[in-house]
Each structure stands twice: as structure tokens, then as C-alpha cells.
Amino acid sequence: MDQRVATDTDVLIIGAGPTGLYAAYYAGFRGLRVAVVDSLPELGGQITAMYPEKAILDVAGFPTVKGKALVEGLVAQASSAHPTYHLDRTARSLEHHGDSVTIGLDDGTEISAGAVIITAGIGKFSPRPLPAGDGWLGRGLEFFVPSFQPYVDKDVVIVGGGDSAFDWALHLEPVARSVALVHRRDAFRAHARTVQAVRDSSVDIITRAQVTELRGDGTLEEVEISVDGVEPVRRPAQALVAALGFVADLGPLQEWGIEVEKRHVVVSPSMQTSLPRVFAAGDITEYAGKVRLIAVGFGEAATAVNNAAVAIDPDAHVFPGHSSEGT
């Protein structure tokens, strides 16, 4: 493939989720040119791909905000930086050239930047399969719930015990005919507040159980649920959501020589990785006391950008002044 060299930029951000979008805005606030790369075709990362209707409760200033509304606001905010977006493309290679870093994309494009900020979340992700669901995807089985409308007046079964399973159960309960949540253990990984909200709803929680068979003529009509110590039961279901988590893959990034610990990039207090001029922020980072929240990612993005600004221009200051100060 012939290589095409993109216009040089000051900061290249790898990952266009909430942390990456905020980093793009903040780079513009620092007067830096910015480009953003993401392997997904749309801005917003996992929120756009999986949770656009989810109510997010831990973003400062918003008692509650839907995922898609948060992304829309972040995109509008980032637009002030006039970022160049390279979507549906994967960062493949990294090379240092003195005072710059060159990132090669999978379409042959090369982008030279004064600093790189990795905000790739969990990296590329694919849903964990439901063993009994082979061949049913798109025929009643789904892994994500980007819209609630297709579930109106349907019997829905959700498999899983994490935040996604409970969030979707809570949001689908008002629109579906019935909702059952099936989990193989008595304990749940979801936030205690959300678990209690589901317990207080009409959702039927079935524990120590697994969906062992899907049945229907062309499309899903019912499922078989096996419960420990009890005969399998059949339950009507026109929709089944397998919320079993994801298999994450950092991909080529692992070949760049960056220090990685348990599929996360190790960073210093300045968000510097083990490579010069390469920073990271958001869920992909690892350090003592790390908490993986969107709110934390925003602060890390600002820290990464401010320190990247000094890496690009040693005469710059890490602290840029407050955005509320006069210009």
C-alpha cells in the first residue's frame, strides 16, 4: 500500500471516547494543533457504540445525562480546537524521530506529532459470546442496546451480572412487556445502587442460572433457563441481551515498547508513559490508586495535555492558567 503522509500536528490523540474528546478540546485551549484517531467509525467510543441511551450519573455538573447527550456536548466542545479526525482507522506503528513521534495508521497514513496521548479506553473490544446463542445474532440475540425502541412490548431476557446487564434491565423495564435478568451466581458486579433499583422494579432476577437454549422459527420465541437444583424452565422471549462483558485487545500498541500491566498502560503522575513524548489518559491507564470513571478521565486528559505542551515546547508552563481568566 502506498503511504500517504498526513499534515503534521502538535498533539495526536489515539481514541475518540469522552476522555479523547476532552483532551482534543484542552489541546485547543492550549493553542495546540490536534488530530484524533479512532478505530470506530463514529465519535464517542464505547458510549456511542454500546450505551448511547444509558443515564450517566457521575459526570460533574450533570445530575444525570444520557450517553449520547454527553458525547454531543463533548464533540461540540472539542470543535473549538478544530481537530482533524481520522475515524475507522487503527494506529499500527510508532516511531520516534528526535523531537517528534510518527504514528502509522492501517490505511498507510503517517501522522507526525510533537506528542501523542493514548485515550483508547480498553482498546479494541468484542463481546463475550453466549454459548447457547450460536447462530442467533440478529434473530433476537444482541450484545448491545443502543436503542430501547426495538424492545417495546417484548419479553426480554438479559444475561449477566455486571453494570451493563443491570443498567439495561432498569431502562427496558418500563417499555418491555417483561424483563428477566439471568445470572450464574448470587453475587453481582454491578453498582449496589443500580442492583437495588432493579430489585425494587418488576424485573425478575433469576440467579444460579444459565440460558441453555434458544428456540424459535426463524426468530427468537422462547429460551430455556437451567437453574441449579431445579428442572429447566422455558420462558417466552422475543429478545435476549447477552451482557457478558468484553474481550479487550490493546492490539499493536503492545508492540510499541510501552510498559503495560494487566492490559493497561502504566503512567507517571504527569500521565507520561514509559516512552518519551507519549502520554495516556482515561481507562487505559494504570497507576497506584487508579479509579476508572469518566470524571477521572477528564482530569487525566487535562494533565496529559498540559505536560505534553511542555514536552513540545520546553519554554511552556505546565499550568496554563484558568480558563475563566481574561484573555
Mean pLDDT by 10 residues, the chain (327 residues): 65 97 97 95 87 85 93 97 95 93 94 96 80 94 90 97 93 96 94 94 96 95 91 94 84 90 93 97 96 96 97 90 64
| CA-to-CA separations, 289 to 261, 294, 297, in angstroms, rounded | 14, 15, 14
Predicted local distance difference test score (pLDDT) of residue 127: 85
138 within 8 A of 144, measured Cβ to Cβ: no
CA dihedral over 276, 298, 112, 30, signed as positive or negative? negative
Q: Count other Cβ atoms within 10 Å, centred on residue 236.
A: 14
* Domain spans, the chain: 4-125+247-312, 129-242
Q: Max alpha carbon distance in the chain (Å)?
A: 72
Cell of 234: 422455558
- Return the CATH fold of 129-242: FAD/NAD(P)-binding domain (3.50.50)
Predicted local distance difference test score (pLDDT) of residue 7: 67
Report the run of H or E that residue 49 belongs to, with start and end. Answer: helix 45-50
Q: Could you tell me which residues are annotated as the binding site for FAD? A: 19, 38, 46, 51, 91, 125, 283, 324
Q: Tell me if domain 4-125+247-312 and domain 129-242 are identical in fold.
A: yes
Predicted local distance difference test score (pLDDT) of residue 231: 83
Closest CA to 157 of 241, 48, 85, 92: 241
Q: Could you tell me which residues are annotated as the binding site? A: 19, 38, 46, 51, 91, 125, 283, 324
Specify the residue for cell string 496554563: 320
Closest CA to 26 of 320, 274, 317, 286: 320
90 within 8 A of 38, measured Cβ to Cβ: no
Q: Say what the pTM is.
A: 0.79
| CA-to-CA separations, 241 to 140, 232, 260, 266, in angstroms, rounded | 8, 19, 32, 34
Report the run of H or E that residue 77 belongs to, with start and end. Answer: helix 67-78
Q: Note the Cα 327 to chain centre separation in Å.
A: 35
- Return the CATH fold of 4-125+247-312: FAD/NAD(P)-binding domain (3.50.50)
